[in-house]
Amino acid sequence: MIVGLSEESEVGRVSFLRGRKAMDIIEEWQTQWKHTHFTAGKTVKNFTKLPVRLVGTKFQTDVWREIMHIARGKVASYSEVARRIKKPGAARAVGTACGSNILAYIVPCHRVVSANGIGGYGPGGLDTKRALLAAEGVTHYAIKGH
């Protein structure tokens, strides 16, 4: 995983390497963020405690903020997240917001699942989602009561 920090030391981008070279990702990011500095080789401890820069629509940022409240080792359904942000019936839109999340793991969209299964996962594919959930002790994805 590679984490991009803004000049203000806010987490602004996260990507899984998935067979790519870190420098290729960094060069891609620098074409989008000309004033952002990337330093290879440094480990940021407790990067989840750094300030986060959420860039998206109001709906997307509402979804992402809510998802950041899902505890490690827990899951919530897309429809549950929609209800929590006072947009019942917007489960598909929540899924779309998850797919637009460029802060994988920091905004833990892997913790959002379908009411009857794992759902999707754009940043790293379903194998990555399963691995992240398994690392948190989650092995059953279906939400009871849906």
Every domain of the chain and the residues it spans: 2-49, 58-135
> Which pLDDT score, from 0 to 100, does residue 91 have?
96
Active site residue 98: no
DSSP letters, the chain, are -EEEE-TTS-EEEEE--TT--HHHHHHHHHHH-TT----TT---TTGGGS-B---S-HHHHHHHHHHTTSPTT--EEHHHHHHHTT-TT-HHHHHHHHHT-SBBTTB-GGGEEBTTB----TTTHHHHHHHHHHHTT----PPTT-
Tens place of pLDDT per residue across the chain (146 aa): 777 776 677 777 777 777 788 778 777 777 776 655 555 555 555 555 677 888 899 999 999 999 999 999 999 999 999 999 999 999 999 999 999 988 888 899 999 999 888 888 776 788 888 888 998 999 877 665 54
Look up the pTM and report it. 0.72
Residues 5, 70, 109, 133: which is the catalytic one? 109
**Topology of domain 58-135, CATH:** Arc Repressor Mutant, subunit A (1.10.10)
